[in-house]
Every structure is written in C-alpha cells, then in structure tokens.
Chains A and B, each alone.
Chain A
Amino acid sequence: MTKIGLEIHCQLTKLESKLFCSCKADYRSFEPNSNICPVCMGLPGSLPILNKKAVEKAAMLSIALGCKIPPKIGFFRKNYFYPDLPKNFQITQYNAYGPTSIGYDGMIMIEDKEIKIRRIQLEEDPGRLVYSGSSEKTQITLVDYNRAGTPLVEIVTEPDFENPKQVRIFLNILADLVENLGVADPYLEGAFRVDGNISIEKGNRVEIKNVGSFRDIEKALHFEITRQQSLAERGIPIPAETRHWDEARKITVSSRSKEEEQDYRYFPEEDIPRIIIEKSLLDNLKKTMPESIMSKKERYINKYGIPTQVAEILSSDKFYSDLFEQSHTEKNAKEIANLITTDLKGFADTKEQREQLKLTPKHLADLADAVLNNKITRASGKTALQEILKTGKPVSEIISSLDLGNVDDESSLVKAIDEVFIEEQKAVSEAKQNPDTINYLVGKVMRKTKGKANPSLTLDMIRKKLDSQ
C-alpha cells in the first residue's frame, strides 16, 4: 500500500514582526538585507526575544487541527551549517524528549479519511541564497537575510495518505483553514511550502523536497509512484533517499547531498525559557478565534437553508464568507449566497481580481434586496453586479442608468404579450391544452422586454389572456 506523509512549512504571514526580533515579518518588499537587525543576523551577543502573538497564532492553528497542546512549550536548536542560517543553527521545536512543541497528536478528516497530525512546531525561516553570474564557473553565491527569522509553523502529518488526490484535497482544506483562521495567506509567494515522503508496498521511504508550489506536490507524488513502481516491477530495490523536485522537467532527482547522514545535535535553546500555556489562554483562544469552516458551513445550511453545495463554496473561501458575513440579513442570506457563488464567481477568482473589485458588502445587500423586492429580476441582478464590480456605483444608480428596473406597468406588458400571441400562435394553442408549457410564453415576453418584465405579473396576465380567448 502506498503511504504518503507531508511536512508543510507555513509562514505566519499575518504577524507584524519576526519570531525573535522586531523586524518585519513580511520581508517581501525590502531591498536586500534591509530588514535585518543584530538578533535575526545572529550577531555575537544578541539574544532571541520570542513573539507572543506567534505563540498564540500557532496555538490557534493547533486547536483548529485538533492537536493536544502541552502545558509548557520549549525551543530547541537544530545545528547545521548553511550560509542562509545566520547562527548556523535554527531555533525550532522538537518532541523526541517529550512533547514540548505547540501542538501534537492532531487529526483532520478528509472525505471520511482520518489524517493524523504528528506535530506542529514553531520555528524561524532562514534567509535566502541568490545566485549571480551566468556560467557554472563564474557563478557566485549571495545571501539576503531579510527572510531570516520570519515566523513559521511546520505541520507534520503521519503517513496516512494513500494517494496524491487525498494530498491535494488535504492541502486545499489546510490552505483554506489557515487563511480562515487569519494565521497566514497561503497564496503569498513562498508562504506555504510542502515537502512529502512516500513509500510504496515494501519499498523504502523517499523524501521529496524543494516542491515550489503546493500544487506541484501532487505531480511530484504521481511521478514518484510511477518511478517506484517501475523499479519494483523490475525487482530493483527502492533506496531510502531524499529527492528534489525539478520544476522545469517535472521529475524528481536524487539529491547527492549527505542529508541522510546529517546529525543535527538537537538540544534545548536555553535563551528562551519554557513558556507556560495556561488553560485559560486556550479557553480564551477557542472563544475568540475565527469560526471554523465546518461550523460556518453547518450554520449556513441550518440557519438560512442555503443548499449544501453553495454553503461549501461560501464557507471554505475566506474572501467569500467575509463578504457574506458583512452583508447578509436573515431574509436576504440565501439570495446573497447565490449572488456570491454564482454571479460573483468568475470575476473574483484570483488575488489580483479581488484586489481590484469595487464591490462592498452594502452593494451585495442592496442588490439582493432589489431582487427580493421584485425591483429587478435575477437576470438584471447579474448585469447590475458586473457594473458594480467595474464602477463601484450605488445599486440604485446602476438600476436607473442601465434601465434595469422591472416593467411593472401593465400597458407596456399588454403590448409585448399581444405581439408574442401573434408570433407564437402554435405555442398559444398548446398552452391552452397544457398549462405546463405556459412558461415558454413567459420566456418570450421576458426576452422582448430584455429581461425586465416582472415575472409574476407577466404570468398572471398571460393566464388571463389565455382564459379570455
């Protein structure tokens, strides 16, 4: 049986400052080495000063992933030399001598399958290597330490996945979850990084590293299964090793580094005392942390009668559910859910699109109310929404300027109905026999009025006219 486990590095991008100093957590917009201080540069004499909120955010995530949280957490040093590591050790957490990481023994369900979370640990990101120079020979290594010390959590799962599809579903759920919790924006470049390990029946465990985007992990895992199976079929043993994902060629390549032989010499980081995690803190976090996706979904279904599928889309996307939460009333909730998941979708899929939207929660509320009060039709609602996205003008202004208001006036409807009765004589006689086909005529009238005819009024008038003939 194929067994897959994951190690996910997720930066806590919603924090202001780094894990152990006051430099900016979001290093992305800085010139090289301009978001650094003695602490994150590991200068002699500097000491790490732990960020309180980082502990809280990591604890929130641990709660959300069903983890146990130890009464005291501690930090360890992972010792290895690398130029992006200013101290040549990384401050991280380690559970080999008893659970002291922020979370352990958690679980989440994906499609009736339990995925166990082995541990969640808080740690610092290293800096970044930049290579300059064209050829292998002239190439030089440059280091930018702006990222060094950025707070991140490493989430380690048990090898509970049976196939890459489960991995994809899990990662989508996890990405939605961290975003919904307000601990990270998983779509920021480099914020959400996934390593995997995989073994097939009777095979050794192979680690896959360097998977740039978390979408690629599925491809990398597929490639590995095929590669390992073909080795097994030919009776060649699968060596335990670390392989790197080659993004350009879409294959995994064995790393010749001595990574397997690394001896990290973990031992306690005594510059940071143990942190007592009081039960009252956890209770408070549970009370104040954002509602889980699951709970939102259930509320949408049970309270507002929103269809399951719509509720699922709405709850799992923080952008959508925030819009919904800020705009809905008990009465218009269903209509707003519809507007968001059918009409808005397609115009607000990417981050860029979302940033450019001129849509406010008030727009959505006004629009839904207009539809519910029969001021405009649903079809006109869609037209109006597109205009709002572009211009941001108030709903009432858009309805009048685009002339989207419902045709409620009987005389203009009489004219349209008369024309349809002349043009569609066959359908008229059919409708007399079979009232079920009457909607065809309503549709024709709608088309004639460019969708503005008040549908219920039109239906009434057609019925009357049929009866009178």
Chain B
Amino acid sequence: MTLAISISQYIQKLRDGEFSSEEFIAKTLERINKVEKNLHAFISINENAIEQAKQIDKKIKAKEKIGSCFGMPISIKDNICTKGMKTTCASKMLEDFVAPYDATVVSKLKSEDAIIIGKANLDEFAMGSTTEYSYFGPSRNPWNTDYVPGGSSGGSGVSVSALECIASLGSDTGGSVRSPASFCSVVGLKPTYGLISRYGLISFANSIEQIGPLARTVEDVAFILNIIAGRDSHDNTTIENRTPDYTKDIDIGVSGKKIGIISEMVGEGVDKDVQSATKHAISTFEKLGAECIPISLDSAQHSVAAYYTLASAEASSNLARFDNLRYGFDFSVEGYEYNSYISKVRSNLGPEVTRRMLLGTFVLSAGYYGKYYQKAQKVRSLIKSQLVESFKKVDLLLAPTMPILPFKIGEKIDDPLKIYLLDINTIIANLSGIPAISVPFAMADGLPIGIQLFANSLQEKQLLQSAHALQKTTKLPEVPI
C-alpha cells in the first residue's frame, strides 16, 4: 500500500477493498512515527485516530450512509479549533488550551467522515513565513531538512508533502498557505475572503486571513474546498457560495484564457531559477492555448508596508485576550497586582509576536493612526482597484509564489524585515480578498518552486481549472524522505 495517492485514488482503492480506513490510518501513523523526528510537522497527533477509522470501516461494512471523505487522514493547522484536542497556536500562552468546540471547517470535515490525524505546526499565532517561530520548535523541509518549509502553515505543507496525511487545512494571512505549498512542492489555495468560515480559526489579522486547503493535487484541493466553503451563521463575514462543485469540469483547460503576468513580481529581486521557472510556466500556458500578456500593478510595491501595518494592528488587538485569566497555562495570580500579572504572563509571547504587538500598538496609537493605519487602508483600496481594473483585461494573473528558493533554517531569523519582504508576491491576494493558488511547478538544486495564479473574487472555479491544467504538464520527483 502506498500513501502517495490522491483523494480520488484513496476513495477508489478503499471502495475496491484494497485497504480499509483503519489500515490506511495505521500506515499513516507509522509514517508519521518514522519521519516526525526529522520534520516536526505536528504539534499533536490524534490518539483516537485508529478507533475513529474502525468506526468508519464499520459504517462502510454495514452499508450505512458514509461521508465523502471515507476516513481519510487530514491534518489541521494548530490555530484552528478542534474539540477535545489541544489547539496551541504554537504558543506558550495556549500550550494547554482545549477548545470546547470545533471550528466550522473541522465540523464540516468530520461530518464527511474525515479523520483529523493531527494538529500541524506553525509560526506562533501564524506570525512568520518560515515556521521557525513555533514555541515548540521549527518544522523542517522534507526536500532538505536543513531548509525551512515556508510558513506560517509550515506543518501543513510538510505533512502533505511528506505523506503524513492526504490533505491539510492551513490559514493564509499574507501567504501562509501558499508559501509552504511552494517550498514543500504541494498545492495551496487562499480562497476569496468570506468564502470559508473563520469560526474557530484563532484570529491573527481578521480582515485579511482565510482558511485554505493544501493537498498534493489541484483536484484534491477542489475536493476539500467543496466541503468547507459556504456561508456560516457563526461568521458574519462569510458570503454565499455560488459555485457548488469545484471539481466538476476541472479538466476544461485554459484554451482562449487571457493570463496577465505581473511585471513587478517577475523581475528585480527574483531568484534566477525562479525567474526561469516562471518563464517556463508562461510558455507552458501559451502552449496550452492561453494568451499571456504583461500587466503592471505598481501599487504592489506598497503592499508589504500596508500589510504589515494592518496585520500588526489587528493582531495587537486580537491577541489582547491572552491574559491567562480565563484560560492559559498554569500560573497563579496570587501575590500579583493586575498590571504586573498580565505583563508577566504575556512576556511568554515569542519575539516575533512581541515585535508585531509593539508595531501594531504603535500604528494605532494616538497621533499615528492617520499616518500609518489609515494610509495602509487606502493603499489596500488602491491595490484592490488596480486588480479590479486588471481583471477587466485578463482572466487570471500569474507570478511566482515566492521570489526565492527555500533557505536554510536560521539564515534570516535575525532580519525580520527581510522575512517580511518574502511575502511581496502573495500579500496582494490577502489585502484585496481575491483567491490565489500555488502550484508545484519546478525544482532547482533539489528545492521546489511554485507558480502562483490569481483570479477575481469568487472565481475559484476558473482558478482551479487553470491550476489543474498547469499541474498536469509537470513531472516532479518523489519526496526524498
């Protein structure tokens, strides 16, 4: 039995009796046991996974109604709440936190008989682009364990890439699904803002972030999106999902499509190998019948500044609730005065989170709001309007997901601004709310390169069709671990 299969293969083989859910889960756990010490994709593993698989097998045998996931193992980023399992956000502040409820996406997956195999590692509170800022230690890139897997959904990217699950849910605030997808050679989707409920996603930058699926194929991503998309009465920002089946007609191709190549994201500052991979992707699309034209998006040069201003501002408020009074780690209030207690417990937030708390507080504080926060909102509007204009001319936009190849763990950790600038190609989707996907496309020096496509709001179907067309042309090596 191989774990390197797609969702549709999994379902087919399970139905054909080639293996049971229990067998597949057992094999997955075996794999996790073997590779985890090198990869550290998970913060916790579901101890009841085998038991849950047995229940699903029983249902299958009894010909009872069975959910569309048939007991397949899915990992969940550890900032998405799972009832009865810890949800830590990779932070000391929540190291013992067990949410009393499932996030909407988790209950949707469970009701389709998916098995939550474990909680995936991340940068503390999803703040970071490398997964080095996890309180529990970094995750490692399965293609070369000296290298970062991207982030902040690093554990999700690693677990999918290293066959520790079939698919994963991450969250994408500034590229946090697409960055690990690119660095780990898997597919990662950041959906339209509001398409997926954020209920149960522990907020970092609530006006910007979305939960998104990672899987090994575009088709698998479409399959998961079918399950998790839709309006939710627990989230006032969700919108109606008017495209019910994302997997249908995924094979339709890109013939006649117009694809805009974002000029600002393919030139200066982009690694040579990434540049040539991008050129190759463009010519591939042309061969498939699409027309590619350059598109300028000059507002993108301000996107990093606008994003880090807004995201830090929102984060400074969202993370204020972690005062250790109602939940949190064991630390008695005895003998402390209120302010000193709160400041003391919150000094357990890691350095990157602390930095963003300081920045976010600064940009919102009296006298600076207009100069930073309001200006950043305006830049955000400008980016959105330029994108709206672009989508009048083209169906999709294209750029490399990451401007550089994966780098070594520790290499950039002392230069936060340099790490922020890695998000330059991904952030526009978050600031504007449009969907974007990263597709594994090439390798250089044994390290993966992902190509990113953007579509207009709620055009996920078209986005997935084009990404699928691109992925079908690739022949990439098997993960070396």
Which residues on A are within 8 Å of B, measured CB to CB? 38, 41-50, 77, 79, 81, 83, 86-89, 97, 141, 143, 263, 265-268, 270-273
Contact = CB atoms under 8 A, between A and B. Distances in A.
Interface in B272-328: 313-314, 316-317, 320-323, 325-327
Given A45-B99, A45-B201, A89 B235 contact: no
Given A45-B103, A49-B234, A267 B313 contact: yes
B206 A270 contact: yes
B87 interface: yes
19 contacts: A43-B327, A45-B101, A45-B200, A45-B202, A46-B199, A47-B198, A49-B233, A81-B338, A81-B339, A83-B323, A87-B321, A143-B325, A265-B317, A265-B364, A266-B364, A267-B369, A268-B207, A271-B203, A271-B206
B89 interface: yes
Contacts of A45: 80-81, 87, 99, 101, 103, 199-203
A263 B366 contact: yes
B198 to A, nearest CB: 7
A284 B366 CA distance: 40
B349 interface: no
Contacts of A273: 236-237
Contact of B237 (A86, A143, A271): A271
Q: Secondary structure of the B side of the interface?
A: loop
Given A43-B99, A79-B320, A81-B323, A270 B202 contact: no
B100 A88 contact: no
A277 to B, nearest CB: 16
B365 interface: yes
Interface of B: 80-81, 87, 89, 94, 97, 99-101, 103, 198-203, 206-207, 233-237, 313-314, 316-317, 320-323, 325-327, 338-339, 342, 361, 364-366, 369, 373-374
A50 B233 CA distance: 10
A44 B89 contact: yes
A47 B325 contact: no
Nearest to B99: A45
Contacts of A38: 100-101
A397 B439 CA distance: 89
Contacts of A268: 207
Contacts of B234: 47, 49
Contacts of B81: 44-45
Given A44-B99, A267-B373, A81 B320 contact: yes
B100 A43 contact: yes
A154 to B, nearest CB: 20
Contacts of A270: 206-207, 237, 314
Nearest to A36: B326
Contacts of B94: 44
A79 B317 contact: yes
Which of B237, B321, B327 has the most CB atoms of chain A within a 10 A radius of its CB?
Answer: B321
Contacts of B200: 45
Nearest to B364: A265
Nearest to A44: B202
A44 B103 CA distance: 10
Contacts of A77: 317
A88 B365 contact: no
B207 to A, nearest CB: 3
Given A44-B99, A47-B235, A266-B364, 18 more contacts: A44-B81, A44-B89, A44-B94, A44-B202, A45-B203, A46-B199, A47-B236, A49-B235, A79-B317, A81-B342, A87-B320, A97-B374, A263-B365, A263-B366, A265-B364, A270-B206, A270-B314, A273-B237
A87 B201 CA distance: 15
Nearest to B319: A88
Which of B202, B234, B373 has the most CB atoms of chain A within a 10 A radius of its CB?
Answer: B234
